[in-house]
């Protein structure tokens, strides 16, 4: 009866694992995370037209272009004389900023959004009538549709 059993060393997870299906490669590679910094791709040009306004505003916000020598894994970069020595791909420039700065920026915009929603709610409730009350439900639901997690 024990003769039909498979030996334990032959029944590993590797032999029973499913074949991985093809996945679309990333359009923009993600850099190796660094402690204390956040990375972001900044638009430099669209359809061949430079976007100097966007670049200058992001640089004033505190984003710094990442040097190509700091990340040698990005060997294939676009050529642009304005950003010589930086990582440029498909009209996007890889930049980094300190994590504290990014958190302060996110908190600022979150506060702006909260203030605007409060204003909208006040405006809506101003037109409320007790005979026919307005409902103000703000609930959201997040799902991981298609992620497999």
The predicted-structure confidence for 92-123, as pLDDT tens digits, reads as follows 899 999 999 999 999 999 999 999 988 888 87
- Does residue 56 belong to any structural domain of this protein? yes
- Does residue 104 belong to any structural domain of this protein? yes
The pLDDT of residue 33: 83
The pLDDT of residue 138: 67
- Does residue 101 belong to any structural domain of this protein? yes
The pLDDT of residue 60: 92
Low-confidence residues of the chain: pLDDT under 70: 1-3, 6-17, 75-78, 80, 132-138, 145-149
The pLDDT of residue 124: 77
The pLDDT of residue 112: 95
Q: How far is CA 133 from the centre of its chain?
A: 40
Number of domains in the chain: 1
Beta-strand relationship, 49-50 and 92-98: unpaired
- Does residue 10 belong to any structural domain of this protein? no
Residue recorded with tokens 């498979």: 6
The pLDDT of residue 45: 86
- Does residue 11 belong to any structural domain of this protein? no
- Does residue 68 belong to any structural domain of this protein? yes
Q: Which domain holds residue 46?
A: 38-120
- Does residue 58 belong to any structural domain of this protein? yes
Which of these, 39, 41, 70, lies nearest to 55 by C-alpha position?
41
């Amino acid at each position: 009866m024990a003769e039909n059993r498979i030996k334990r060393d032959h029944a590993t997870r590797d032999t029973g694992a499913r074949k991985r299906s093809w996945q679309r490669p990333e359009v923009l590679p993600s850099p190796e995370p660094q402690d204390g910094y956040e990375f972001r791709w900044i638009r430099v040009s669209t359809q061949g037209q430079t976007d100097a306004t966007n670049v200058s505003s992001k640089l004033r916000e505190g984003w710094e272009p990442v040097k190509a020598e700091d990340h040698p894994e990005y060997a294939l970069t676009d050529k642009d004389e304005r950003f010589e020595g930086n990582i440029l791909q498909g009209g996007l420039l890889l930049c980094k900023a300190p994590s504290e700065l990014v958190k302060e920026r996110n908190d600022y915009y979150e506060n702006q959004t909260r203030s605007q929603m409060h204003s909208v709610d006040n405006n809506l409730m101003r037109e409320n009538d007790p005979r026919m009350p307005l409902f103000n439900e703000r609930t959201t639901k997040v799902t991981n549709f298609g992620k497999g997690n």
